[in-house]
Amino acid sequence: MFNRLSPHAHGPVARPLVVRFGSMGDMVIALSLIHALHRRCGELVDVVSSGPWTRPLLESQPGVGNLYLIRSRKTPYAVSPQQQQLVRTLNARGASPTWICDSDDKCRWLIARAGIPQSHIADVRSLPAQPREHAVDRWLRFAQASLASHDVSMRAIDARALRVPPLRVAEQWRRDLDAWLRAGSLAGRPLVLVQAGNRRTTKWWRPRQRQSNSKYWLEERWARVIDRVAQSEPEAEVLLMGVPSESRLNEAILGLTTTRRARNVARDLPLHRLLALQERAIGMISVDTGPAHSAGALGCPLVVLFGTADPDHYAPRSSRAAVVCLRGHDHHGASMLAICVDQVIDAWSTLRSNGRHASTTNAASRRSIAPRATHEESSAGRKLHDRLDC
């Protein structure tokens, strides 16, 4: 559920405003922008956004001020009471330095209707592109954009200190995790996390094996990875994570495993517990999705399987743990299905041999581009896709 927007007292405020509608991973990355603006302006940063993950993810983070959340910016304004309330709230808040981070025109229309003049706005569409630039670096460059109305009063910032999103875990989240682990007889156990699902696989009305799902990896391969990790970590429990709608995928994978030290926890992980769990785990294997970015930011050693997305732009970053990104290629181009089980296990072994203290501030510089999968695995994956009507 979304909290009702509450208007603030009338009059101008000095707080910068960030407008960013994004996925969980987008909002983790945006923390670098938010914290950079917090340092540059000397004020908390208010955020306009959406998504059920945004409030629990951002509301306790350093530098974050008020959150103005709507269910969707795509709904026509005339039938969206939340958008109308947002405009009234921002108008009452008063104009302040504003960074618009999305490319669609609706964001600008809402901001203009709220009475924020163009002289107060930095627009990401005016930011020149740079080749092979990581998303975090792009936001840090955007945080230093000039504003006609406020530039003289703003401080210079050292972007190098924010090249990993500054994600923090609250102490009460750790206490909640401790209680949950005790209830599940997991206290004191080494924990390995697996994130096989993503938003594309949760669309129950469409087959998750469809060709357009570039973040799908075969259930049989996940099961083999889990069995081999469990064999190499004899004291560990493997936890299959996700949101409740990804529970069916996890159960399908578990049905193909042989180990008894793996369980599906997708229905038992509110976001605050997920973050505390990632901080505690000995490592994680994931597709390219939001929880991979939070794991990296929290120092969880990480193997990430990429599909068509470029790790140079979107690899999770970590300041105190190893991050290995795998990307496969077949005759159709970049494909997650071209990553084989042995490559994932080799990457996992690399994490475990490096330990938690390997520094990978720029995760993309340590990425491992996967060669072609074995003929058997690549053919099986491609035939599965070829027979689907996309």
Question: What does the pLDDT look like over 124-146, one tens digit per residue?
Answer: 999 999 999 999 999 999 999 88
pLDDT of res. 332:
78
Asked if the model's pLDDT at residue 380 lies above 70, the reply is no
Within a domain: residue 5?
A: no
Q: Are 257 and 111 members of one domain?
A: no
Q: Are 259 and 141 members of one domain?
A: no
Which of 124, 145, 162 terminates a domain? The answer is: 162
Domain of residue 134, residue span: 17-162
Angle formed at CA 216 by CA 381 and CA 138, multiple of 5 degrees: 125
**Helical ranges in the chain per DSSP H:** 24-41, 54-58, 81-93, 105-113, 135-143, 171-183, 219-232, 247-254, 271-280, 290-297, 311-314, 341-354, 375-386
Count of domains forming the chain: 2
Query: How far is 161 from 291, CA to CA, in rounded Å?
Result: 22
Q: Are 253 and 349 members of one domain?
A: yes
Task: Tell me how far apart the terminal alpha carbons of the chain are, to the nearest angstrom.
Answer: 33
Q: What is the mean pLDDT of residues 246-270?
A: 97
Which of 139, 162, 185 terminates a domain? The answer is: 162
Within a domain: residue 12?
A: no
Q: What is the dihedral of CA 184, 187, 193, 197, to 10 degrees?
A: 20
Q: Are 58 and 186 members of one domain?
A: no
Q: Do residues 221 and 295 lie in contact, with contact meaning Cβ atoms separated by under 8 Å? A: no
Which of 110, 140, 162 terminates a domain? The answer is: 162
Q: Are 142 and 73 members of one domain?
A: yes
pLDDT band, very low/low/confident/very high, at 150 (cuts 50, 70, 90):
low
Q: Are 340 and 216 members of one domain?
A: yes
Q: Do residues 298 and 351 lie in contact, with contact meaning Cβ atoms separated by under 8 Å? A: no
Q: Are 148 and 121 members of one domain?
A: yes
Asked if the model's pLDDT at residue 159 lies above 90, the reply is no
Name the token pair of 197.
């699902």
pLDDT band, very low/low/confident/very high, at 247 (cuts 50, 70, 90):
very high
Q: Are 125 and 195 members of one domain?
A: no
Q: Are 94 and 235 members of one domain?
A: no
Q: Are 79 and 211 members of one domain?
A: no
Within a domain: residue 176?
A: yes
pLDDT of res. 161:
80
pLDDT of res. 215:
86
Query: How far is 283 from 190, CA to CA, in rounded Å?
Result: 9
Within a domain: residue 308?
A: yes
pTM for this entry: 0.86
Tell me 267's DSSP state: G
Q: What is the mean pLDDT of residues 64-75?
A: 95
Within a domain: residue 108?
A: yes
Q: What are the pLDDT digits (tens) for 322-378?
A: 999 999 888 878 899 999 999 999 999 999 987 643 333 333 333 443 333 333 344
Residue with tokens 């007292």: 9
pLDDT of res. 268:
97
Within a domain: residue 10?
A: no
Query: How far is 299 from 322, CA to CA, in rounded Å?
Result: 8
Query: How far is 305 from 321, CA to CA, in rounded Å?
Result: 17
Q: Do residues 52 and 89 lie in contact, with contact meaning Cβ atoms separated by under 8 Å? A: no
Angle formed at CA 313 by CA 105 and CA 135, multiple of 5 degrees: 50
Asked if the model's pLDDT at residue 30 lies above 90, the reply is yes
Asked if the model's pLDDT at residue 383 lies above 70, the reply is no
Q: Are 176 and 152 members of one domain?
A: no
Domain CATH number, residue 304? 3.40.50.2000
Q: Kindly report the average pLDDT of the chain as a whole number.
A: 86
Q: What are the pLDDT digits (tens) for 160-202?
A: 788 999 999 999 999 999 999 999 999 999 999 999 998 766 6
Within a domain: residue 3?
A: no
pLDDT of res. 162:
87
Q: Are 141 and 198 members of one domain?
A: no
| Phi, psi for residue 327 in degrees, rounded to 5 | -140, 125
pLDDT of res. 360:
35
pLDDT of res. 70:
96
pLDDT band, very low/low/confident/very high, at 220 (cuts 50, 70, 90):
very high
Within a domain: residue 6?
A: no
